[in-house]
Each structure stands twice: as structure tokens, then as C-alpha cells.
Structure 1
């Protein structure tokens, strides 16, 4: 009798906790998030002028045309920028394959942006982030790309430099990280600018 009573109580408690923690709590959090932070709860989606989704401000995308600012390299998935395969390359800084890859990316970056052989290349221009999906590049990286994008679009460099500075974000909490620019947002603004 005691075993049957305990089993019934345990099953009742299991059902109640399943409903409470498996349905009630997630629904409550979703409702609060939708009310308090609708943009973030909806995926931080970026829309173009016609209302089409261009992407998310939280996930990097591949831009390869000279008409756009290029993001940092991605190691997520076969072709990179795959949100279902988020992750880094896991190659150590002393790994010969990694060193070769960084050297190739550095040469390509210098060539694309018409930099001199001795000019410094920002680290985020040639190395992937830990997730492989970082949507931001350093302000330095964005400003080095201004002449290339200006040439490709036929837009004055000063106008593009101002656009980059308008989209620049400072350090988090005034001390963490470096000034940065969200590439997806910047390229969306660039399309609205024209050229």
C-alpha cells in the first residue's frame, strides 16, 4: 500500500513539475522577453527598406564583393559563416597550417585594400573568432577598407569614413574590448547610401 501511494505521489509530482518547468517557466520567460526586449527576443533581425530580413546583428555573414566591407574570417562550417556549425578552427598559433593560412589572408587583405607590404594588418582581418560568427570588426579594420569600398562604389572616401564612424561602437563598459563596427549593419547602411 505504501509503495503504491508513494508511486502515485511521485508520478503526480513529476507531472506537476514537468508542466511547471517544461511549459510554464519557458512560456513566462518568452512573454517577458517579448514585452521587455522585442527586438532581441525576435533574433535581433535587420530589415532592408522593403521589409526583407537581411540577417541578424548577432551573426556574421560573408561579404566578398569589393563594394562591401568584409567581415573577419570564419571557421564555422565548410564555407564559413554557418550558424549551425559555430566554432573556431582549434589550430594553435604555432600550428604550421594556421601560420600559412594567416600569411595567405594577410597577403590577400593587403592586395584587396592596396596596403604596402610593411603596413600593419589588424588581427581581426586575418583570424577567425572563437565562434566563427562574430559580426563585428575593429574600427581600424573598417577604416582600412574605406578606400577600396569608395573606389568600387564611386563614393567619396570622406562620406564612407563618416558612415563607418556613425556605426562605430565603443568599448563595452568603457574598458572591455576595442572600438568595433557591425559589418552587417554597416553594409546595410551602405546599400541605403547608394553608389
Structure 2
């Protein structure tokens, strides 16, 4: 019987060592050597302090900044640990809303968001992804259409010429990977940093 059990035990030990220790250590080492910025979370620093990551969105709410897509992530209710409350872009609780197209609460929220956005820019149709949540709730990017739609609000709040704000958006548009993969996007944090930088020039 020991002759049958021994190979199984040896394989468990060997595979645990290979897949549980050696492989992760090798991949972590290779990532740190070849792509240290990405391997450490693609962190963004300003004045020596980490202010975010290019991979996780932030809840910008001021009219002076471009806003990301709505986020459906939640967090623990500080008043009742058995409940949750809305916590946009909560990186420890990535999730979508799980609401379907017939959900009355989702329809009500979207209609309200559309009305608010149309009041800010009445001459342009509201891009659908600017009022719908992403699957992760952490999307750091918006479409160029989303960014262009927000230009009048941001320009007015900052007292800037819309043409100058548009040029900042133009420069922030990221092309498809290798020219064919994914879609053109605008990283909201990077765009808002460029916007702040333009005010000091």
C-alpha cells in the first residue's frame, strides 16, 4: 500500500513546490526586472506622494475635473457592519451593479444622470457609457466621446477657453494597443493631472 501512496505524496510535494513557490517567485522576479512600474501597481505620484494608480479609477466629483464612469462598488456601513453603503471605486470590493435593463432603480438613476448631464451640455447627446457602470466598478478610463462631452463644464468651472481644454483632451487620448487591440480611451487621472499642470504654465 505504501508503494501506491508514496508517488502521490511525492507528486503533491513536488507540484506544491513548483506551482506554489518556484513559479510565483520566478514570475514575480521577472516582472520586477522587466516591468517594475506595472508590477508595483502602476502607481502615480505627485510631489513624492502616491495619489492613485493608472489601473483604478477615482471618484472625481468637482466640476473642475473630468469624471469617470459611474461606479457600483460598495463598502461596509460605518453605522452597521451588517449592511453596505455606496463607495464608488472601492478597490477592495470590485463589482458591477448586477441590475438588468428592466430594473426600475437602474432606469431611474440613469434618467437622473442623463438629465443632469444634458443640463450641463444641452447641445450634445449624452454618451451611454458616461451613465452606465462598468463590470468592475473600477474602470480608470473613459471613451474620448465621454471626455469631449465634459469639456464645456470643465472649461466653465476653471474659466478656461474650451479650445485649450479640447487640446488637453486630444493629447490624452490613448490609441488602441498595437493599433488593433481594445478601444481608444482616456485615462481620467492622467487627464486631470494634465489639466492641473496646464493651469500652472
* Bucket of the pairwise TM-score, normalised by the shorter protein: 0.7 to 0.9
**Which of 15, 22, 25 pairs up with 1:24?**
22
Alignment of 1:105-116 (within 5 A): 105-111=113-119, 114-116=120-122
Aligned to 1:193: 198
2:45, 2:51 within 8 Å by CA — same for their partners in 1? Answer: yes
Determine the C-alpha separation between the residues in 1 that align with 2:18 and 2:28.
14
Deviation at 1:110, TM superposition (A): 2.0
Q: Distance in 2 between matches of 1:53 and 1:165?
A: 26
Of the three residues 144, 157, 160, the one matched with 1:155 is 160
Match 1:124 to one of 121, 129, 141: 129
**Unaligned stretches of 5+ residues in structure 1:** none
- Cα distance in structure 1, aligned partners of 2:124 and 2:17: 61
Q: Tell me, which stretches of 5 or more residues in structure 2 are unaligned?
A: 75-85
Indicate yes or no: 2:152 matched with 1:144: no
Distance 1:73 1:164, change over 3 A: same
2:70 to 67, 70, 73: 73
State the Cα deviation string for residues 99-149 of structure 1 (Å, max 9, x = none).
1111011112223xx222x63100111101111111111111111211221
- 1:41 Cα deviation from its structure 2 partner: 0.7
Q: Which residue of 2 aligns with 1:182?
A: 187
Instruction: Name the Cα RMSD after superposition.
Output: 2.0
Q: Retained in 2: the 8 A contact 1:109–1:125? A: no
The structure in which a higher percent of residues are strand is 2
